[in-house]
Structure 1
Amino acid sequence: MSDVSQTHASLAPSSAQKFRQRFLPFLVFGAILLLIPMTDPSRTMYALMHQMAIYIVFALAYNMLLGKGGMLSFGHAVYFGFGGYLCMHAMNWIDDGGVWGAFPTFFLPVLGFVGGAVSAVVIGSFSTKRSGTTFAMISLGVAELIFAGAFMFDSLFGGEQGISGDRMNGPEVFGLSMGPQSDIYWFMAFWTILSVIAMYAFTRTPLGRLSEAVRDNPQRVEFIGYNPQRVRWLVFSISGGFAGLAGGMSAVNYEIFTPEALSLIPSGFVLIMAYVGGITYFAGPIMGAVLLTYMSSMMSDFTEAWLLYLGLMFVLIVMYAPRGIAGIVFGFWDGIRGANSAELLRKWSVQLLGCLLMLIGLIILVEVSVRWSNGWGEAFEPFGLHFTHADIVTWIAIFVPIVAGGYVLRLATREKEEMPA
């Protein structure tokens, strides 16, 4: 008996591991948020940080479905939108005075959570009766239905122009007038940290554990006395609530909400964020939200083909790195701390070299093609070089790195297969 208990004790994570895995990431995350204002960021940087905060909460909420519950949804922006629209109406009610005049704008995301959760409770009552492909198709149909209805009910959704408001109404909280970008930053930081902690805490609850069990084996969950459909419904409702909270953050940040927030575009975008970041890790959607928000906001200033790069990145991660960016990062960290760290670093360096070579050729091909297809006669000129579609040097610069990179990757793969077990 003592041997068994000692074996179980040895399998349990140590106090240092618990701190490193469960608490240290939150401390680092909070420290980064506190240090950002000290760098005196520009308005553009503030706007980017605010957008990242919204998508971090939205992506984590979505991953409660996909990563933890195994429910692929094509319409989770519906709950983001319902939460945002409720907050926009509440913002105008605060402006009108009366009972709502005493409600602080700072706490509007609470209403967003309520709006998203209530709508998810109603829609989830029938959609979660099915799982897998059927659930995904139901979510797609509901999203199209709600998006079409947004243009029919102007009093609720404001038609094509949406609903706008003024976030500076209502009493101040923590001395924030909710006007300057710096005030909105602290608003975003507060709700982002609170949401991240709350969603992580949910993963440690019995319901969070049950959602993973339903994802992996719903028959066994039913055998031990739990209703898989009820578990999916509860998780779906909570996920919709946090999506609505993100919608409330967006409403306060932009002071306008349009039916586009209910469309398939944000639903698909948050799916890509979660999957690219890594749905098997809690931090994965955070990484995906930061990366894709930066790409959509900043990379579009450098190239018209940023969506093509995004699509290629998504396909490559699905094919070759299904655990996402978080899987790559944590795998690298575990590798360099292992016994064969030198060999792994050499192998990864070779693979990285092959990927970079192929990426160089691909970027030249895409950028030259975009400029040629536009018919403007522009040349792609990175680092003072001059590439046009009619120059033979351009095609050499395209195919030589691609072929060389493919050969290097093939050698690395062959070496891996020939390594002794």
Structure 2
Amino acid sequence: MAIWGGFALLLIVAPLIWGSGLGLTVLSQMGIAIIACLSYNMLLGQGGMLSFGHAVYTGLGSFMAIHALNRVTEGAMHLPVSLIPLVGGVAGLGFAVLFGYVTTRKSGTTFAMITLGLGELVFALSLMIPEFFGGEGGVSGDRMAGEPFMGITFGPQRQVYYLIALYTFVCVAAMYAFTRTPLGRMLNAVRDNPERVEFVGYDTQKVRYLAFIIAGFFAGISGGLGALNFEIVTAEVVGAARSGAYLLFTFLGGATFFFGPIIGGVLMVLALILLSELTKAWLLYLGLIFLFMVMYAPGGIASLIMMNVRVAVHGRLRELSGSYVALIASAVVMLLGAAAIIEMVYHLQLSTTLGDELNFLGLTLHARGWASWLGALALAFGGFGLFEWARRRFVRRWGAIQEDIENQIKQREAQ
């Protein structure tokens, strides 16, 4: 209960801390991304269904929501603006009923390929049916439609944020409750051992189908909130890039833990908004982060947190403090060198008309100067060597602590 109270308090006070226009925009998009990533994790983390087309349901939910908003503006539909995201949710559910009947008949790689094909089909249709999708310009709307309720017009971004925060809290709580239901437990069983589930009398396809429908509903709500937040919906929202982002950041956050996609949703917004503004090479950095996570932490950030919580519970975390300092320091040195090399390469390729000077973290680098290259290479390779030394030392210490913890647990169980 304390965790949920803390989560609600965080949602309430966040705009008081980051109250600028940019801060409210980032916070609003984080709420939308959290719902989208959690709905995707219903398929990936809880059901073992790797989908390459989840943006179909968030995107179509956005289009239905923006059309409903325009109908409200025209007076043809009487619906409070605060309920427009539910229109997106119902739309996501409806399309999940339609498409899910086909996709969930298969599992594994076949399921993934079908979702990829459906995603490309919907994206192609978005360019072929401008009457609904609005063509390249998309469909725009006005969220200040209808009569104000208690002075709330949803014109100011703060009002929109609190609406998104309310939907975020309710949706996160509902999706967590789903994991505790018999259907949620059976979905985990289908993920882990579908043959045994069939043996005890359950229809695995039906379980996957029902979970797919529920995930589509929450994805549609996320899309509806996006339509209200941006007041415009374009074909990009149903594209493969958006589906890939849900997959990438859900994995980075940690698909095996419920709170992992919440971390992933926050990282998704920080990468797409802030990192993309800082450097032209942000996609390269994102790819490198994903590569290192797959190599060193395949369970995502959530798994790293939980492993350290386990060590802390047994009172052994302090023993690793020195190793963590060495790991972090060497990683920072390595990343600084690698980033300097990347920035100089990008500058030479894309910004040669501006000369060979570039600003990197307050330092002036010369993209054609040998001193800058030698310094960057020394930091990168020296940092990598130190990182590997610190990592191997950490792995040995970590293994010894884990072995001691397992022995303590066995001794307690024996007693």
What TM-score does the superposition give when structure 1 sets the normalisation length? 0.90
CA distances 1:265-310 after superposition (whole Å, capped 9, x unpaired): 1101111110111101111111111122112212222211111111
From 141, 145, 149, give the equivalent of 2:125.
149
Q: What SS does structure 2 have at the residue aligned with 1:380?
A: strand
Amino acid at match of 2:227: A
Match of 2:45 among 50, 64, 67: 67
Q: Does 1:36 align with 2:21?
A: no
Residue 267 (structure 2) aligns with: 291
The size of the alignment, in residue pairs, is: 397
Question: Does structure 1 conserve the Cα–Cα contact (< 8 Å) formed by 2:356 and 2:368?
Answer: no
Secondary structure class of the residue paired with 2:97? helix
> What SS does structure 1 have at the residue aligned with 2:298?
coil
Alignment match, 1:227: 203
Matches within 5 A, 1:253-292: 253-292=229-268
Q: Counterpart in 1 of 2:390?
A: 412
> Do residues 185 (structure 1) and 158 (structure 2) align?
no
Between 331-340 and 120-129, report the one with greater CA deviation: 331-340
1:174 shift after superposition:
5.6
**How far did residue 319 of structure 1 move?**
1.7
Q: Could you tell me how far apart the structure 2 residues matched to 1:221 and 1:40 are?
A: 48
Equivalent-residue separation in structure 2 for 1:365 and 1:242 (angstroms): 42
In 2 relative to 1, CA 68–24 (structure 1 residues): closer, same or farther, beyond 3 Å?
same
Distance 1:206 1:171, change over 3 A: farther
Which letter maps to 1:401? L
Q: Does 1:160 align with 2:136?
A: yes
- Rounded Cα–Cα distance in structure 2 between residues aligned with 1:384 and 1:139: 45
Secondary structure class of the residue paired with 2:89: helix
Matched residue SS, 1:387: strand
Match of 2:297 among 313, 321, 324: 321
Note the alpha carbon deviations across 1:305-330, whole angstroms, 9 max, x for none.
11111111111112211111122223
- Which structure 2 residues correspond to residues 47-58 of structure 1 after superposition, within 5 A? 47-58=25-36
1:79 aligned partner: 57
Say if 2:92 and 2:216, in contact at 8 Å, map to a contact too. Answer: yes
Q: In 1, distance between residues paired with 2:136 and 2:365?
A: 43
Which residue is 1:357 aligned to? Answer: 333
Instruction: Confirm or deny: 8 A CA contact 2:15 2:23 kept in the other structure.
Output: no
Q: CA contact under 8 A between 1:358 and 1:402: conserved in structure 2?
A: yes
Match of 1:19 in 2: none
> What's the counterpart of residue 2 of structure 2?
24
Provide the secondary structure at the position in 2 that maps to 1:211: helix
TM-score (norm 2): 0.91
RMSD of aligned residue pairs (Cα, Å): 1.8
Q: Residues 175-219 of structure 1, C-alpha deviation per residue, up to 9 Å, x if partnerless? A: 421111111111111111111111111111111111111011100
Residues in 2 aligned to 1:364 and 1:184: alpha-carbon distance in whole angstroms: 39
Q: Distance in 2 between matches of 1:391 and 1:163?
A: 49
C-alpha separation in 2, matches of 1:152 and 1:372: 39
Q: Distance in 2 between matches of 1:382 and 1:143?
A: 39
Q: Do 1:364 and 1:397's aligned partners in 2 also have CA atoms closer than 8 Å?
A: no
- Supply the AA of the counterpart residue of 2:117: G
Report the counterpart of residue 6 of structure 1 in structure 2: none
Q: For residue 216 of structure 1, what is the amino acid of its counterpart?
A: D
Instruction: Tell me how far 1:129 sits from its aligned partner.
Output: 0.8
Q: Does 1:204 align with 2:180?
A: yes
**Are 1:105 and 1:171, in contact at CA under 8 Å, matched by a contact in 2?**
no
Amino acid at match of 1:351: L
Q: State which drifts further: 54-63 or 342-351.
A: 342-351
Residue 153 of structure 1, CA deviation: 2.0
Q: Which runs of 5+ in 1 are unaligned?
A: 1-22
Residue in 1 aligned with 2:407? none
Deviations 1:253-276 (A, max 9, x none): 111111111110110111111011
Distance 1:369 1:303 in 2: 12
Q: Name the CA shift for 1:203/1:172 in 2 (closer, same or farther; >3 Å).
A: farther
- Report the residue type matching 1:67 in the other structure: G
1:388–1:93 CA distance, 2 compared to 1 (3 A): same
Residue 415 of structure 1 deviates from its aligned partner by 3.2
Superposition misfits of 4+ residues, deviation over 4 angstroms: 416-421
CA contact 1:336–1:344 (8 Å) conserved in 2: no
Q: Percent identity of the aligned residues?
A: 41
Q: Say which SS state the counterpart of residue 381 (structure 1) adopts.
A: strand
Pair 388,108 (structure 1): closer, same or farther in 2 beyond 3 Å: same
What is the CA-CA distance between 1:383 and the residue it aligns to?
A: 5.1
Give secondary structure in 2 for the equivalent of 1:322.
Answer: coil
- Cα deviation 1:350-399 (Å, max 9, x = unaligned): 22222222111111111111111122324233354332233232223222
Report the CA distance shift for 1:118/1:335 in structure 2 as closer, same or farther (over 3 A): same
Contact (CA 8 Å) 1:106, 1:173: kept in 2 or not?
A: no
Could you tell me which residue of structure 1 aligns to residue 220 of structure 2?
244
> Partner amino acid for 1:115?
A
Mapped partners of 2:169, 2:22: distance in 1: 22
Report if the CA contact (8 A) 1:358-1:406 is conserved.
yes
SS in 2 for 1:73: coil
SS at match of 1:176: coil
Decide which of 123, 137, 140 is 2:99's aligned counterpart.
123
Decide which of 136, 145, 149 is 1:169's aligned counterpart. Answer: 145
| Inter-partner Cα distance in structure 1 for 2:262 and 2:396 | 37
Q: Distance in 2 between matches of 1:238 and 1:63?
A: 12
Q: 1:213 to 1:264 in 2, by over 3 A?
A: same
1:171: how far off?
3.8
